[in-house]
Amino acid sequence: MDPIALLRRAGLPAHDAVPLSGGDTSDAWRCGDVVVKTRARRIPGLFPAEADGLRRLAAHGVPVPTVHHADDDGLVIAYVPPGPADPEALGRTIAAMHAVRGHHHGLDATVFLGPIPLPGGTGPAWRDVFWTTRLEPLVRRTAAALGPRARRIEALAARVPLPQEGPRLLHGDLWSGNVVHGIHGPVLVDPSCWWGERAVDLAMMDLFGGFGGRCRAAYAEALPVPDAVAASVPFHQLLYLLVHVALFGDSYLSGVDGVLRRYR
């Protein structure tokens, strides 16, 4: 959808649209004081789910852009003026988010990782929720690429130790590209927000280059990570590795194999 048309739909004044570098899910433009996100191929529910996640994070004090409008055609959020990187502040911000506790694991709504929808569902047992609403749908989606790995993942999911600290507020897609270092500190964007064990976010923080030692040290100082939680992080990385297999192909199978070897 044309970004100017979405501005009008949001009741905001028209403004020149300047393309921004974005991810693989949507196109983004800066239009004055706002950012407009759209995509050529419409995915029902995608942008409303992102807006819901931003609002959920904001309601618990997590720094995120203000949502101005969301529908199936796009999303309009506040523009965050860039500032200096502050990895220690980022670590403390993530720790404060993870300090927020929920009443159950999961979410009674579809969430998206990139363009991939993952089903809603809640429950008290983390192993069951993580398998039925996250891993199992992705194993089915990538079964042809996984081959015999699919059965090994299923067996691993039934036996690997999964410590249960209790549901925490998760960003859900916490890689460096989803952090904006603003003039007032780090701001989290593009969430796949739900309630779960914080090992999910810690898993993504360690993938694809990670956030660096200064961020992780500040996080651990604010919210120490028990050894058992740290030991479960590679298993939780399967969530993101399977998404990448689904979106980008077999080159990410080596990461899956690395996790399977780790838990032999």
DSSP state of 172: S
- Which residue in this structure is represented by tokens 């970004």? 3
Q: How far is CA 97 from its chain centroid?
A: 13
Question: Terminus-to-terminus CA distance in the chain, angstroms?
Answer: 48
Q: Is 182 exposed, middle or buried (0-12, 13-18, 19+ CB in 10 A)?
A: middle
Which residue among the candidates 24, 86, 173, 250 is catalytic per the annotation? 173
What does the CA dihedral 162, 264, 175, 50 come to, rounded to 10 degrees?
-50
Strand partners, 157: none
What does the DSSP assignment read for 96-128? HHHT-B-SSEEESS-EEETTEEE--EEES-HHH
Quick check: is 173 catalytic? Answer: yes
Task: Report d(CA 150, CA 195) in Å as an integer.
Answer: 26
The residues, ordered by sequence, that sit 6+ positions from 239 with a Cβ below 8 Å of its Cβ are 113, 130, 134, 135, 138, 200, 203
Do residues 120 and 133 touch, judged by C-beta distance below 8 A?
A: yes
**Nearest in space to 141 (alpha carbons), one of 41, 46, 243:** 243
Active site residues: 173
